[in-house]
Every structure is written in C-alpha cells, then in structure tokens.
Amino acid sequence: MNLDAALQTFIVESRELILAMEDSLLLLESEPGNVAEINSTFRAIHTIKGSAGLFGLDDIVRFAHVAESVLDRVRDNLIPVDDHLTALMLECGDYLGQLVDTAAGDHPEDGAALQQRETQLIERLGRFLPAPTTDLMPAVAAASPTEASAQIESSGGGAIANGTWHISLRFGRNVLRLGFDPASFLRYLWTIGDVTSITALFDAMPPAAEMDAEDCYLGFEIDFKSEASKETIESVFDFVRDDCQIRILPPNCKIEEYIHLIEALPEAKERLGEILIASGALTSVELEQALQSQEAGRDHGQRIGEILVEDHVVHHAVVQAALDKQKQIKDRRTLESKLVRVDADKLESLINQVGELVIAGASAEVVGRRCGDGQLNEAMSLVSRLVEDIRDSALSLRMVEIGETFHRFQRVVRDISREMGKDIRLAISGDDTELDKMVVEKINDPLMHLVRNAMDHGIEPVAQRLARGKPAQATVSLSARHESGSVVIEVADDGGGLNREKILLKAIERGVVASNNSLSDREIFNLIFEPGFSTADQVTNISGRGVGMDVVRRNIEALRGNVELDSVDGLGTTVRIRLPLTMAIIDGFLVEVGHSGFVVPLDMVVECLELAGVDKAAGDARHYLNLRGEVLPYVRLRELYGIEGRPPRRENVVVVNSGGRKAGLVVDRLLGEFQTVIKPLGQMFRHLRGISGSTILGSGEVALILDVPATIQQATHFENQPAARETPSNQPALSLQSAFH
C-alpha cells in the first residue's frame, strides 16, 4: 500500500469533514437542539482523530480527543449548546484545519504559535469538562508494544476493576502490507481510556527460515479500563476488522467467558491462562476450577456473554447491536465502492485529449466531404456522433455543484456580521447548479470580495434599517441558475443601494469621467469596478481601500465571463456574474466574414435571417432593424473588426440572446453547427474585447470565438453613440487594433 497516497486521502477527507463540521455548527447556532447536527459534528472529529492515529499524527489525535470529549458531553445533554460553545468549536475546527495543512506540507506553521494556540483552546475546552485535561496520551502510548508491555507489567496488574474490558487482538498476516502500523491502534486506544495491562504475543511467528518479513505475527492480550461503549472500542479497529481476530469481553463478565476465549484462541491454553492470571483477570484457583468444570462435560460449544467481534463468524450469542454495526459498515463500504477519486491532472489530460479528438474528427469529416464517397461520409457521421457522446461524458466528469462554494460563505457572513455589529443572514438558492470545476475553483475569490462589500457598504446599521422600516436582520443572497448556455451567479443584498450622485462625483473628482458626460445609471454604477475606485468614507479591515472590485471584474473576464450591477436606492444592490458552463469544449455556430471564421456559442443563437434590402440600404444611417415589430440593434462584424474587402450581395443576420438582451450579428456566410474546442488567445491578446478564445477548424484554419455578451454591449453602445451613426460605411468603426484597452 502506498502510504503517501493514503495520507493524501486522509488529508482530502479530513478537509471535507472539517467543512461538514463547520456547516453543522453554523446550523446549531440557529437550532441548538438539533440532535442530528450534534452527532454529525461529533462523528467528524471522531473520524479525523481515528484516521490521524493511524498515521502517527499525535498532535491531531491529542487535540481532537479533547474536543471530542466536550462534544460527547453535549450528546449526553450535560452541556447546553449556545453561541459561546459553537464559536469555540468553530475555532477548534479552524485549528484542526491548520494541523491538517501542516501535515500536508501546504502551509508550514510556526510550531511555537501552534502550540500556544492549542494550549489556549484546550484551556477553554477544559472548562466544559469535569476535570482539567492534562496528559491525554501517556508516554507508554508512544512506546513500542513490547516496551509498553514491560512498563505496565513492571508496575503490577492488579485486580480487574469495574469498567475494565479484556481485548484479545491477533493481527492478520497482511496488516503490514496494507500500510497499517499495529502500534498506532494501541496508541489510539489510549485516547479513549487507560491500558492497565498489555502482553505482546509472538507465538504465531514461524522459524526464521520460514519467516516472511512483510507478514505480521503479532498478538496482544489487553486489559482496558474505559467508560467507552462497545461500539466505540470496536470502532478503534474498523480499518483492520476483516484481517484480524478481535474478541472483546465486557467488564465483570463470568469466568466461563474467559474459558471460551482461551479455547477459541490459537495459543496454548497454559500460556493464555498464565497471561490472564498475571493480568489479574483471573486467579489461579478460579482458572483451575473452571477448567475442571469444562472437563466434567460442559458443552464446549456454548457461548456465554457477549463476544463482539470474531473473524468472519457471527455466532448465535452475538448481541444484536454488533449485527447492526456490521450491517452499517457493510452498507458504508458498498457506497464507497461506487465512488472513485480521480486526480485532477488526469482528468484535465483526458479533457485535452478529447478536445484533440474533436479537432481530428472535424478534419476527417472535411476530407470525407471532399472525397464525395457516400459510405465514407456515413461512417464519418457515425464517428462524429460517438465523439460528441465521448465529449459530453468527459465534460460531465468535471462538472461539480456550486453549493459547496456557496456554503463556505456561511462562516464568512457569521464572523464579519459579528465583527461589524450587524445582524446579517445568508440566503442560498440554486446551490445544485453545476459548473465546470475549474470555474468553481476560480470564482471563490471574486465572490468573497462581493459578499464582503455587500455586508460593509450595502447593509446599513441596525438603527438605520429600523428607521427606514426594514427588519433588523439584513439578508445577503447567493444564487445560481443556468441561462442560455451560461451560469448566472447573483450576489444581492437588501441594504441601502448605491448612491448614484456620490459615485458620479467621486468619478469626476478622480478624473475617471468628464463632468459633461451623460451616463446612464448602469454606466455610473459600473464605475465602482474601476481600479482604485472607492466611495468609503473610512478604511476598515474589510474594505474601503479601492482594491477588490477591479480584481473581481478582471478575474471574471479571465474566465470568459462578464459582470453587471443593478441597484435601487433604499432597496439594495444586485451584482450579476455570467460565466460559461465549461472552459474546454462547446457547441458552436460557425459563420464567415470575408476569409475570417467566427464561432458563436450555439446556446445563444436564436435564429438566422437574411438582411433585407431596406435594412441594408439604411445601414449607413442606423444600426438596427425591424424584427417582426421588435427593434433589434445589430453590429457588422466586418466593420467591428476592420475586415478588408467588400461585403457580398446577400448578407445574413445571426440573432443572439444574452441575459434577456437581443442583438444581431451581420455576417457574410452561415456555415452551420460546429464542435468547438476552446483555445486561449494568449497573453498578448488577453485584453481583446468581444473575443473569448479561438479554435481550430477541420481545415486547419483558426476561427475566433465571439464573446456574445460583450459584443451585444458594443452593438448597443454603438447604436447609442451619435458619432457611430455618422461613421461612413466604408470606414471601420472599430478595428482589431482599437479593440484593445
């Protein structure tokens, strides 16, 4: 077993558990009596502690045990759930995250700082425990099994007291091959109780000539004092249950149960009897009397008491709780067997290869059409359909729900609202909306800026909200939905809205706009995305320095998206982000202007029509046409990008729709649907407006992919500007050179 791979799995799963724990704690703030969330929080920390013990991460085990002890008392209704407790447990989750990051090597932490924070948190946790928690893992727990046995036996075993279990443990031969350290299970056992006696057995070890260095021959007889339940003790050995013989006898069990244990174990009876007598579990008189009773004719097959775990055998005397536990484990393993973790780099490589397959398929289809062979064209059509299915399946592997990203902001809203003295809740909708994993990872920072700004600038103080007749509790909303082949994410608040006059005055003061410019409300509101622009009266640790909003727009545009802003005075502000579903492959509609090819995302194409003669004749005076009684602004791609040559006698209009706004794209020829593999333009062209990427056609030529929202915005702006309407038809209004900022 690859230990590095196992450790990486532990790190990934631990981070997921910490996020799940955080969600449960945030829900407990509003629902303190939610038993399911209390148990979920306990299970998260318990699982992290158990897994960390297998890798010898004693810092995690030690700290998680204290937090787990507090949560255990919460489960027993000994500690009430309140804001103080949830806040403390959230800090514990943050600290566990730091320890996991340190184990991963991602963010090396200062050891002294970590120790100081751990001391402070344990001190605060200790106030919820009946006695101060000091040494949670005695030195003997860190020793080897043989050393531990010697240390404990030298101190004397003593009689078995109330609450002392007896554990017979025989590790399977493959334990070492599976990557497990037998000593780690003993160390973990120390975290839930005290080992009062331990004896290491090597009776299964063969002669040296027959020994396999990778086999495990260890066995242990353990007396374990603990108030833990049967299920908790049993769970210590969950990872090796199927490869070991584990028998657990409860406290104060009858002597007959020890006799049956001796009979079931592989070692000599005399050897096991000596161990039990030495540990104090039995006296020599009791053992002798019991053996005589057995020889007198007692049924050797009778099982008295409870034997919790046996190697692949469930006897009639096994308690129902053990059966239920085994069923739960079986169901969990069945579920896990249906899931496969795939490295992100491998998935990215698959997507790239599928993209190249799409390009190669398009090239072969072009060759087939040129040959004019009917059978070849039919075969290529079948191949194209199969390639399209493979493309869709490959892309679906990279689609993830955006809900996980949204729910992380619950903690952000909670902490910042308390810091600012505001009462704010986060409302989430559309969290099941799927988006490309790459897009989801890169949208987190822009959303963080928008949420923080909404809370600081948008939401008014409580007194001001009450004076305006609003509820004291404000709302920040995060929502997502699919629309026209894109994903629309909205960040909205019910605060005071943007101050139009204040933004305009600030822009004029900074020289961003001229004082005599006539700007629409939307254009004024969008000024807040300019670099260094801020209307904050004072700088806080949250916002006000004029950085963030320009970064938001830059990052979103880097994802081939766009951002819009709407605001109503006194009612709130909505920031709308529109992003492509995927960054890799799309269905496109291929058009041509002159000898240049352009691809329009197919999901945004509404219809195609021929440019009527009357509209074409009036093109010098206006840039809109009558579409069945609807005014449709349009833009000539030939003029927009300064493409040389005269337009053909018959031109076509591609009607596109983005965000509820329609526009027309005037092109020379319509070439039909086309599977488009998106290629980045490169750093030199990163500021090019209206173009979101490029693709390779089947002929080997390069076509540009149109950024439809930006093109519509340009078309609308072009129509609204008087200078644009006066531009002669033979002079381009916007060349490729002028398309740069």
Task: Give DSSP secondary structure letters for 207-275.
Answer: -GGG--TTS---EEEEEEE----HHHHHHTTGGGGGGSEEEEEPTT--HHHHHHHHHHSSS-HHHHHHH
Listed residue (140, 175, 215, 180) closest to 55, CA to CA: 180
CB-based contacts of 41-44 (< 8 A; 24+ apart in sequence)? 41/71, 41/89, 42/68, 42/71, 42/72, 42/74, 42/75, 44/17, 44/18, 44/20
CB 588 within 8 A of CB 602: yes
Q: How far apart are CA 388 and CA 395, in angstroms?
A: 11
Percentage of the chain beyond pLDDT 90 is: 9
pLDDT-based confidence at residue 223 (cuts at 50, 70, 90): confident
For 63-74, give the DSSP string.
Answer: HHHHHHHHHHHH
Q: What is the pLDDT of residues 131-152, one digit of tens each?
A: 544 443 333 334 443 343 334 3
Q: What is the pLDDT of residue 288?
A: 55
pLDDT value for 309 = 37
Is the CB of residue 322 less than 8 Å from the CB of residue 369?
no
Helix spans in 372-429 (H)? 374-397, 403-420
pLDDT tens figures, 625-635: 888 888 888 88
Per-position DSSP letters for 559-626, written without gaps between them: TT-EEEEEEETTTEEEEEEEEES-SSEEEEEEEEETTEEEEEEGGGEEEEEE--HHHHHGGGT-SEEE
> pLDDT grade, residue 55 (50/70/90)?
confident
Q: What is the pLDDT of residue 135?
A: 41
User: How much is the pLDDT for 655?
Assistant: 92
Q: What angle do CA 370, 375, 378 make, to 5 degrees?
A: 85
Which letter does DSSP use for residue 203 in this model?
Answer: T
**Choice between 721 and 123, residue whose per-residue pLDDT is larger:** 123
Residue 734 has pLDDT above 50, yes or no: no
Q: Which helix (H) or strand (E) holds 633?
A: strand 630-636
pLDDT digits 0-9 by tens, 687-711: 677 787 888 887 778 888 888 877 7
- Please tell me the predicted confidence (pLDDT) of residue 236: 82
Interval 361-369 mean pLDDT: 80
The per-residue pLDDT for range 428-449, each reduced to its tens digit, is 999 888 888 888 888 888 899 8
Q: CA-based Rg of the chain, rounded to a whole angstrom?
A: 35
Q: What's the pLDDT tens digit per position in 487-539?
A: 899 999 999 888 888 888 888 887 777 777 777 777 788 888 877 666 655 54
**pLDDT at residue 152, rounded to an integer:** 35
Q: Give the model's pLDDT for residue 614.
A: 66
Interacting residues of 689 by C-beta distance below 8 A, sequence separation 6+:
707, 710, 714, 739, 740, 741
Predicted pLDDT of residue 523: 79
Q: Is the pLDDT of residue 1 over 50?
A: no
Tell me which of 79 and 56 has the higher pLDDT. Answer: 79
Phi and psi dihedrals of 640, rounded to 5?
-60, -40
Helices (H), 31-144: 35-54, 58-75, 83-104, 111-126, 139-142
498: left (phi over 0), alpha (psi -120 to 50) or beta: beta
